[in-house]
Each structure stands twice: as C-alpha cells, then as structure tokens.
C-alpha cells in the first residue's frame, strides 16, 4: 500500500470485531426503535423475539463500510442498513421452520416458542417493516429490498427441493439465498453515499462476492465439523448437497463413494461410519481443495474490486473483511485444516 494507506494502521481481526460490535449496538437500537410503533404493540413480543437472539450484524457493517468508503453519512446509513438486517432476521425465521431447527444462537428458535405459523407471520411483519423503512428513502432502496426478499424466498424454496449433484444449480441457490443478502447492504451503502453508477456496481459486486465466499465457507465447515465432532452438522443432517460433494460426484467416483453419495441424497443423515469413508474420499479426490480454491476465487474478486475504490481506511476494512469472515467461520474447525486461506492485499492485476 502507498501514500495515506501506508501510514494507516493494519486492520486486524480485533479492529474488525470492534467495528462490528459498534455497528451492532447502533443497529439493535434502531431495530428496537422501529418495533416500538404503537401499531405493532399487539405483536411486539413475537416480532422482537428473533432480533433479540443477537447475531453479529455483519450485513449492516458492510453497508456502513461501503457508505463511508464513498463519503456517506454514518447515522443515515445505519437507519437504512437496519432494513437489510430485518430481512436477514426474516430469513432466519423461515430457515428454522423449513429445517426444523429448534435452537438458534443458543436459544429456542421462534417457531419452537410461538409455533411455525405464528413465527412465519412474525417474519413477514419484519420484512414488511423493512419495506416501509426503505420506502421512506425512495424507490431505489425499496425496489432493491423487494428484489432481495424475492431472491431469498426463491433461494430457500429451491434449496428445499434441491437433491442432486449440480454445481450450477447449487451456486444459483446460494447466490439467491445468501449472496443477495450481502449484496443488498452494499447497495444500500452505495445509495446512501450518492455514488456514481460505476461506484455502485463496484459495491454491488463486492457484496455478491463476499456473500458467495461466506456461504461456501459455511457449507465447508458443515463437512469439516461433522468429521471433527462425529455428529451431523448443518447440511450434513438434511442431505442438501454442497460443493465438495458435488465435485466428488462429478469426478466419476468409485462404486463405494458413489453409493455413499447416493445414500446421502436419499436417506440423510449418513451413519458416521459411512460419512467418514466419504470424507476421506473427498480429501483424496481434491474436493475439499476444490472448495477452498473457489473460496479464494471469490476473495480475489473482492480484492480486485476494492482496488478501484477510494484509498481510505474504510476500504482497508473492506479489503480485510473476506479473510476475517473466513477465519471466523473456520475457527470452529481450527487445527483440522490449514487457516492460511485467503489474501488480504489488493490484487495488482486488474480483472474486474
């Protein structure tokens, strides 16, 4: 790095965590303020439950960083970033119902407390509240929020029906369900900063790529954690194929591997004896490495996009954020797989 950037302090994981905590506190206050509306009094307990379970508020943090990287106002951005967080909370309610998960962040999930139907209605109210807030700012943010909600619904539905080894369809699903919800706050940040069309495209693409990186890593952790703990985790419980399994199926597996891949789709979860055999096959066939390489591809795209953003400390945070998220997710299996992972410096070649 050169110039002003060379004089700035390195963005450590601790600094990013401090920033996220600061944004989370302000976003939580903003959510609480919105839920105090008298019109919502009768359903306040219901719609307050999911947001009260916590979470890192990663998405609002991205909105803030993008906005401030391009000269936007923090307070105004926080208010609009709340809309993306409300959509995220909505998606968690629906995911827990679809997956049958009764625990979320160490607490009973919303549907475990209120029942599936009531919880989903509460999720709908949170989404509608996000639209109402976004609409106050204008059509651009409202239209983006509606598009994001549509993507979330479509992605969740397609994932629920997805039981085949198809890489393009898998990438489409995680793009709709996860990347779109990282892209949205980056778009919000760009709108709040009054960016040019080119700058807006940079922000939008950055959000998409970091979202894809996030989900690929999270899905890989399901596999690694299952092997480490000896019990099915995440998608390993539901038989929903993720990239390493898809890669192994594509590589003309031997009969033993193929039979276990078929069992995973048809009768999940796999008994651990079968899963362990399959896991070693994933390693031998390079399927774990293939996933790590795709994660690095998305990180590289983030770095290249950042290289075209204003040279300031907020861009420094955006540069460091992909590898930070990777390390946070992989920390659950630290020591099992190498953590060197992804680069933090902007790429010198321009491919964006």
Q: Say whether pLDDT at 3 is over 80.
A: no
> Which pTM was predicted?
0.90
Share of residues in the chain with pLDDT > 90 (%):
67
pLDDT score for 122: 83
Task: With beta carbons less than 8 A apart as the criterion, state whether 269 and 239 touch.
Answer: yes
What number is the average pLDDT over the span 56-64? 93
- Residue 140, both tokens: 């651009």
Pick from 91, 195, 216: which is nearest to 145 by CA? 91
pLDDT digits (tens, 9 = 90+) for 272-330: 999 999 999 999 999 999 999 999 999 999 999 999 999 999 999 999 999 999 999 99
pLDDT score for 36: 87
**Helices 44-52 and 13-35, interaxial angle, to 10°?**
180
Among left, alpha and beta (phi > 0; psi -120 to 50; other), residue 341 is left
- Residue 218, both tokens: 């999270």
Pick from 23, 35, 34: which is nearest to 74 by CA? 23
Q: Say whether pLDDT at 69 is over 90.
A: yes
Share of residues in the chain with pLDDT > 70 (%):
91
* Domains, the chain, with CATH or none: 4-333 (1.10.600.10)
Range among 86-90, 252-256, 305-309 rated most confident: 305-309
Instruction: Tell me the C-alpha to C-alpha distance, in Å, between residue 95 and each of 98, 116, 159, 175, 237.
Output: 5, 11, 10, 16, 14
Task: With beta carbons less than 8 A apart as the criterion, state whether 234 and 329 touch.
Answer: no
pLDDT score for 96: 80
Locus of tokens 């031997």: 254
- Residue 53, both tokens: 């379970």
Q: How confident is the model at residue 335 (pLDDT cuts 50, 70, 90)?
A: low
Cis peptide bond upstream of 309, omega within 30: no
Between CA 50 and CA 111 the distance in angstroms is 10
pLDDT score for 164: 94
Q: Say whether pLDDT at 196 is over 70.
A: yes
Residue with the larger pLDDT of the pair 304 and 98:
304
Q: How confident is the model at residue 349 (pLDDT cuts 50, 70, 90)?
A: very low
Task: With beta carbons less than 8 A apart as the criterion, state whether 224 and 333 touch.
Answer: yes
pLDDT digits (tens, 9 = 90+) for 7-43: 567 999 999 999 999 999 999 999 889 888 888 888 8
């Amino acid at each position: 790095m050169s110039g002003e950037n060379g004089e700035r302090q390195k963005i450590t994981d601790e600094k990013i965590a401090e920033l996220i905590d600061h944004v989370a506190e302000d976003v939580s206050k903003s959510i609480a303020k919105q839920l105090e509306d008298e019109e919502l009094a009768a359903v306040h307990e219901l719609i307050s439950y999911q947001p009260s379970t916590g979470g890192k508020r990663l998405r609002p943090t991205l909105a803030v960083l993008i906005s401030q990287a391009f000269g936007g106002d923090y307070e105004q951005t926080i208010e609009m970033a709340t809309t993306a967080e409300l959509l995220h909370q909505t998606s968690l309610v629906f995911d827990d119902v679809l997956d049958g998960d009764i625990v979320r962040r160490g607490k009973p999930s919303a549907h475990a407390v209120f029942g599936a139907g009531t919880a989903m209605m509460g999720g709908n109210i949170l989404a509608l509240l996000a639209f109402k807030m976004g609409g106050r700012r204008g059509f651009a943010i409202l239209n983006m929020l509606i598009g994001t909600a549509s993507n979330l619904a479509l992605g969740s539905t397609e994932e629920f029906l997805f039981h085949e080894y198809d890489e393009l369809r898998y990438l489409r699903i995680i793009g709709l369900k996860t990347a779109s919800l990282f892209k949205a706050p980056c778009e919000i940040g760009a709108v709040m900063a009054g960016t040019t069309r080119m700058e807006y495209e940079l922000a939008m693409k950055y959000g998409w790529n970091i979202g894809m990186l996030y989900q690929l890593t999270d899905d890989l952790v399901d596999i690694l954690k299952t092997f480490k703990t000896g019990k099915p985790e995440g998608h390993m419980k539901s038989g929903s194929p993720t990239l390493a399994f898809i890669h192994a199926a594509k590589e003309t597996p031997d009969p033993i591997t193929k039979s276990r891949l078929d069992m995973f789709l048809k009768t999940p979860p796999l008994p651990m004896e079968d899963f362990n055999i399959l896991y070693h096959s994933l390693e031998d066939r390079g399927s774990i490495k293939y996933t790590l390489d795709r994660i690095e591809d998305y990180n590289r795209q983030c770095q290249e996009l950042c290289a075209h953003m204003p040279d300031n400390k907020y861009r420094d945070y955006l540069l460091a954020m992909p590898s930070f998220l990777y390390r946070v997710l992989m920390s659950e299996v630290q020591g099992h797989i190498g953590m060197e992972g992804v680069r933090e410096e902007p790429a010198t070649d321009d491919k964006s």
